[in-house]
Structure 1
Amino acid sequence: MPDDTVPGEALAAYPTHRYWLLLGAYLTSSVGNWMYRLTLPLLVLHLTGSALATGALYALEYLPYLLLAMFGGVIADRFDHRRVLIAGDLVAGAVACALALFVMAGARPVWLVFALTFLLACAEPLYQPAFQSILPTLVPPRRLATANARVHMGDYALGTVGPLIGATVVMALGYQTAIFLDAGTFFVSALLILFIGRTAARPGRAAARKSVFGDIREGLRYLFGENRIVLSSALLAMAGNFTIWLALADLVFYLTEYHRFTPAQIGVVYAMQGMGAVLGAAAAGRLLRRHPPGTLLTAAMAVGGLAVLCLVPARGPVAIGAAWLAQFAAAGVVGVSALTLRQRLVPERLLGRVLATTRMLGFASIPLASIVTGVLEHALHDTYVILAFVGVSWLLLSVAVSRSPLRDAVLEPASG
């Protein structure tokens, strides 16, 4: 990753191939994640014919984030990041292979599909803290935002094409082959990470350790008591996710019932969302080199709020899609800026735990918002009121950011 703003001596300490291997591994395993997130619900629907069972499987896939995220942070802070990532990929690959063999054998009883799916889903909350923590060791500090932006762009690009890949494989080759291919993506990811080579020794790893829960308390104490900037970014993510999911959780119902969109028109809206996220992430990498993160977060939240308000008068798939494109672009800037800020400010010895906890807080607000929006739609029968509330909420969050500790945040290197 050439960068004229980084001295040649500094760049020499960060061989570019190591970052590209990590990114390739992450995107490869992400393809596997998207394949099983589509394949397994289709399999359960095929086996049971029950929409309730299929919905329960979706919920089961996200439950590990709430149960295991902080333990994943402890693992990331206690052990070598590279080994954690390799182990996570190998375990996920092994579980996926077991699931494929089980499907070949007839997939009975179905509860075992649920159990293996839960084990497979447990890999990601244990994997993510190590992945986000290893990134700052592989790129120069001034290139960290760009590195995060590429990950974010890849996530959303795969979110657009991943389900299509999964559906194509299932239709052409069957469930068990799709799951075997899913397992293969994890093994390829582990191999790519192996090629990264040993990373620099991390200070403090050999020091005496507290208990696991002692480590968790230390991370929570830092987040909630020692760094108001990082805490403000976590609360912003939680509030932003909660409010925007009041709209997203109801989106298909809104497009279908209020606008009578066809599946193809709904696809246009979702495609424009993904395009917006990619564009926003790409812009964030450049903008963070020129503007303080607090300024970017304030502006992005304001743009996102105005974009949602534009949904109230918008009609037609192009107009509605354009508003969502702007909103997701703003959200992309927020996501990359907040993550980069945390990676630069949190001491390395605490980075995994703090990143895991902030991610858990952000995810925890999503199912709650999904329930609340259902209650509101049932009570009000007016999604336009919900959209107006979401837009105003993001504008108010923009004002809150401008008056919070984030206002003075700078991307200083973490210490400790």
Structure 2
Amino acid sequence: MPDQHDYGGRLVAANAFATASGWINRTAVPLAIYTLTGSAVQTAVAFAISHLPAITVGLVGGVVADRFDSARVSKLTLFGSALFILCIAWTISVDALLPLTYLALFLNSSLSAIQLPAFQALVAHSCPPHRLLDINVRLGAADQTNSVLMPALGGGLLMAFPPALVFVLSAALYLGALAVLWPLSAPGAGKGTALRTLQGIRDGFAIIHARPELASGVMTFALSNFSTTLLQSTVVAILAMRFELGSYQIGLFFAAAGVFGIAGHAAASKVALRLPLPALLAVNTLACSGLTALMIIAPSAQAFALLWGSTILLGAVNVTAFNTHRQLCVGPAEMGRAVAASRVLTYFPIPVAAGIAGPVLHLLGPAWLIAFSATMRLLGVCVCLASPFNLSMKRAS
């Protein structure tokens, strides 16, 4: 077993490999399917299939992460993801097998829904409390960096090489993450834990409900995700309608947003534990609401990008702070269920907002959609202010 000082670097490196693969897949899968079929419907179906496990299988994933050794679960899910991505490389190369791509995509996303709570549980088991904030900052920065670089890399590779080769690279990244995690174990994780699945799922929601600061954080993130998705799902159309930007300029816009996200995770290291969680979320969410409202009168694409990036920065601070507080006040033995319940509750509004955003933009225009988004953030502030500010900074046993 490696010395404990090695854990942080290994966790960050493994997460960087795995999220790099995930970001390549988010770009490569829809592009490959659309290129092969020419069907927007089939592309949309692939998007829906890849997101469905987060609010279905994810609930079971939390129980699995707490029932078994979280290190072993993380390794098995990474290996399984590599296999299913290789299956996609095969199925998209044979016309008759293309329908199986959707099955492989669902299975890979299902493993990812298990891997996320398992990895968070592994972080909680492996890292001492005083290092959790630093680890979360580094994990968030790595993910945000991949969100900037990997979609462009995936799209560029698809232009230069057959899709199958791109998915082979993606599978290799999963295997790289597995190799980095291989020496790690989670002593005591899952031992003696006989959890029934349905009871374990209920326990996950009970864990969040029993901690007011986490419950308010989850509700705030649910409203923030709804607000953010209203704009994220339509921002390409908004930029084209208001500022007549082309595809290259829109790509630069998203790259700039990613840079703001990296800065946000860095800033979290300074402020994440200085305020009670509800207070921090309230301040940042209120600022995001004001910045979103200012987008209505942004005079240029550059001003709009600055406002957008600022909301991304503050959102990154909130994410890092919430993850760290959750690890401090939820015991490692319950971490998987807590992460799974949190994810389901905060993820569920995303498809709802995506379905509403298009019609609102079409019927009322960008200004009203942006105002709607800002208002939903204000509701999140109200949730924060209604929560008791009594978080103990002592880690749960």
Common fold by TM > 0.5: yes
CA contact (8 A) 1:96 1:180 kept: yes
Shift, 1:14, TM fit: 7.1
Give the whole-Å Cα distance in 1 for the aligned partners of 2:132 and 2:70: 17
Matches within 5 A, 1:81-92: 81-92=70-81
- Match among 187, 198, 204 for residue 200 of structure 1: 187
Letter in 2 for 1:205: K
CA contact (8 A) 2:124 2:335 kept: no
CA contact (8 A) 1:146 1:286 kept: no
Closer, same or farther in 2 for the Cα pair 1:210/1:143, shift >3 Å?
closer
CA contact (8 A) 1:14 1:139 kept: no
Matches within 5 A, 1:14-25: 15-25=4-14
Matched, 1:48 2:30: no
The equivalent residue for 2:170 is 182
Matched, 1:72 2:72: no
Matched, 1:385 2:368: yes
CA contact (8 A) 1:107 1:113 kept: no
Closer, same or farther in 2 for the Cα pair 1:14/1:395, shift >3 Å?
farther
Give the whole-Å Cα distance in 2 for the aligned partners of 1:168 and 1:264: 13
The equivalent residue for 1:259 is 243
Letter in 1 for 2:147: G
Shift, 1:289, TM fit: 4.0
Shift, 1:184, TM fit: 1.0
CA contact (8 A) 2:272 2:320 kept: no
Letter in 2 for 1:214: Q
SS of the residue aligned with 1:290?
coil
Matched, 1:331 2:315: yes
Matches within 5 A, 1:19-34: 19-34=8-23
Shift, 1:107, TM fit: 3.5
CA contact (8 A) 2:216 2:383 kept: no
Shift, 1:376, TM fit: 1.8
The equivalent residue for 1:147 is 135
The equivalent residue for 1:413 is 395
Q: What are the Cα deviations for residues 192-226 of structure 1, in whole angstroms up to 9, with x where unaligned?
A: 10123x33213x7314x2421122122223333x2
Letter in 2 for 1:26: N
SS of the residue aligned with 1:311?
helix
Closer, same or farther in 2 for the Cα pair 1:256/1:147, shift >3 Å?
same
Which segment drifts farther, 87-96 or 130-139?
130-139
Closer, same or farther in 2 for the Cα pair 1:54/1:305, shift >3 Å?
same
Q: What are the Cα deviations for residues 99-141 of structure 1, in whole angstroms up to 9, with x where unaligned?
A: 223344x242321111111112212101000111111233331
Letter in 1 for 2:313: A
Letter in 1 for 2:113: P
Q: What are the Cα deviations for residues 323-365 of structure 1, in whole angstroms up to 9, with x where unaligned?
A: 0111111111111111111111123222111111111111111
Give the whole-Å Cα distance in 2 for the aligned partners of 1:393 and 1:52: 30
Matched, 1:218 2:203: yes
Identical-pair percentage: 24
The equivalent residue for 1:5 is none
Matched, 1:228 2:217: no
Unaligned ranges ≥5, structure 2: none
Matched, 1:126 2:111: no
CA contact (8 A) 2:62 2:339 kept: yes
Which segment drifts farther, 41-50 or 393-402?
393-402
Matches within 5 A, 1:203-352: 205-207=191-193, 209-224=194-209, 226-352=210-336
Give the whole-Å Cα distance in 2 for the aligned partners of 1:341 and 1:303: 21
Which segment drifts farther, 284-293 or 85-94?
284-293
- Aligned length in residues: 396
Give the whole-Å Cα distance in 2 for the aligned partners of 1:153 and 1:412: 25
Shift, 1:263, TM fit: 1.9
- Match among 346, 369, 378 for residue 353 of structure 2: 369
Letter in 2 for 1:219: G
Letter in 2 for 1:270: F
CA contact (8 A) 1:268 1:317 kept: no
- Match among 142, 146, 160 for residue 158 of structure 1: 146
Give the whole-Å Cα distance in 1 for the aligned partners of 2:97 and 2:141: 39
Give the whole-Å Cα distance in 2 for the aligned partners of 1:295 and 1:334: 11
Give the whole-Å Cα distance in 2 for the aligned partners of 1:138 and 1:285: 19
Instruction: Kindly report the root-mean-square deviation, in angstroms, between the aligned alpha carbons of the 2 structures.
Output: 1.9
TM-score normalised to the size of structure 2? Answer: 0.94
CA contact (8 A) 1:129 1:355 kept: yes
Give the whole-Å Cα distance in 2 for the aligned partners of 1:255 and 1:279: 23
Matched, 1:60 2:45: no
Give the whole-Å Cα distance in 1 for the aligned partners of 2:345 and 2:251: 29
Give the whole-Å Cα distance in 2 for the aligned partners of 1:139 and 1:45: 43
Q: What are the Cα deviations for residues 252-287 of structure 1, in whole angstroms up to 9, with x where unaligned?
A: 111111221222322232122212211111111221
Unaligned ranges ≥5, structure 1: 1-12
Give the whole-Å Cα distance in 1 for the aligned partners of 2:90 and 2:228: 40
CA contact (8 A) 1:296 1:333 kept: no
CA contact (8 A) 1:269 1:320 kept: no
Shift, 1:98, TM fit: 2.4
SS of the residue aligned with 1:312?
helix
Matched, 1:96 2:79: no
Letter in 2 for 1:70: L
Give the whole-Å Cα distance in 2 for the aligned partners of 1:183 and 1:240: 33
Letter in 1 for 2:263: L
Which segment drifts farther, 277-286 or 75-84?
277-286
Give the whole-Å Cα distance in 2 for the aligned partners of 1:365 and 1:257: 26
CA contact (8 A) 1:265 1:317 kept: no
